[in-house]
Amino acid sequence: MAGSGRFEGKVAVVTGASSGLGQAVARSLSAGGARVFGVGRDKERLAAALAGTDNAWLAVDLTDPAACAEVVATCVERFGGLDILVNAAGAHTMQHTARVTDADWQHDLAVNLSAPFFLSRAALPHLLDRRGAIVNVSSIAGVEGQAYSAAYCAAKHGLIGLTRAMALEFDSTGIRINAVCPGGMTTPMVQNFTFPEDPDYSLIMKIAAARGLMDPAQVANVITFLCSEEAAAVHGAIYTVDNGKMSL
């Protein structure tokens, strides 16, 4: 967890803040003194996740580009600026590639790739003004293939490409843009996976780490570091946080 005062005076937008990794990041930044603007789909869960803090939240559908712009505008209106954007919201539809519907494909790309782009585009003027930071949450699916996850892998690979492209474009500014690639965590998304019909479980198990699932707080610690001044020299980096899975 962040130490008291580490983010004093900072404002952070965190998507997916109602549960899992996004919630862990929101709470860590808040514990460090940041004012957090949490974003998710469920207003009641957002309120519960950020209860008792000097924070705010907005329940929106991030597959809508206009909603992404609304998030940034509402945050800046509420808190007077923006220093940190953490794109932690995610969606993963597991399906045989030949059975992926148009809607499945569009949804996974919209949540995992398009929303981070639209949020970043809206946030850039404010982040550039304050020499802020963007942290994109990709996945180990962004650096390797995973069975029954064509749309998810495509989106997460794309998010790494977006991170690197923006990092190069804004290299001469004070803004920092990085990505984190988590492995499996004990989050609702992982725990409630719906597997496709007749899967080859030997292929599915290739994504597992020998050390097992991580606590979201362990990954949130890395994200929080990347949001902090301690990471002032980290820009355009892709951090893999996977309990050693990629070392196998």
Q: Specify the pLDDT at position 3.
A: 44
205 pLDDT above the threshold of 90: no
Domain assignment present for 160: yes
Q: Specify the pLDDT at position 4.
A: 56
pTM (global) more than 0.75: yes
Nearest-5° angle of CA 81, CA 83, CA 84? 130
Domain assignment present for 6: no
Which value, to the nearest 10 degrees, does the dihedral of the CA atoms of residues 182, 71, 170, 216 take? -10
Domain assignment present for 131: yes
Q: How large is the average pLDDT for residues 52-75? A: 94
Domain assignment present for 177: yes
From edge to edge, which strands make up the β-sheet containing 11-15? Answer: 56-59, 35-40, 11-15, 84-87, 133-137, 176-182, 238-241
Which pLDDT band, with edges at 50, 70 and 90, does 247 fall under?
low
Which pLDDT band, with edges at 50, 70 and 90, does 53 fall under?
confident
Q: What is the DSSP letter of 186?
A: S
CB under 8 Å to 66, separation ≥6 — which residues? none
Q: Which of 148, 152, 201, 239 is catalytic?
A: 152
Over the stretch 156-201, which tens digit does the pLDDT of each residue have?
A: 999 999 999 999 999 999 999 999 999 887 877 776 677 778 888 7
Which pLDDT band, with edges at 50, 70 and 90, does 2 fall under?
very low
Q: Specify the pLDDT at position 170.
A: 98
Which pLDDT band, with edges at 50, 70 and 90, does 213 fall under?
confident
Domain assignment present for 22: yes
Over the stretch 87-132, which tens digit does the pLDDT of each residue have?
A: 999 999 899 999 999 999 999 999 999 999 999 999 999 999 999 9
Q: How large is the average pLDDT for residues 238-244? A: 91
Name the percent of the chain lying above pLDDT 70: 96
Q: Specify the pLDDT at position 10.
A: 97
- Asked if 239 is an active-site residue, the reply is no
Q: What domain count does the chain have?
A: 1
Distance in angstroms (rounded) separating the CA atoms of residues 204 and 237 = 28
Q: How large is the average pLDDT for residues 77-92? A: 96
Distance in angstroms (rounded) separating the CA atoms of residues 225 and 220 = 8
Domain assignment present for 2: no
Q: Give residue 115's domain range.
A: 11-247
CATH of the domain at 167: 3.40.50.720
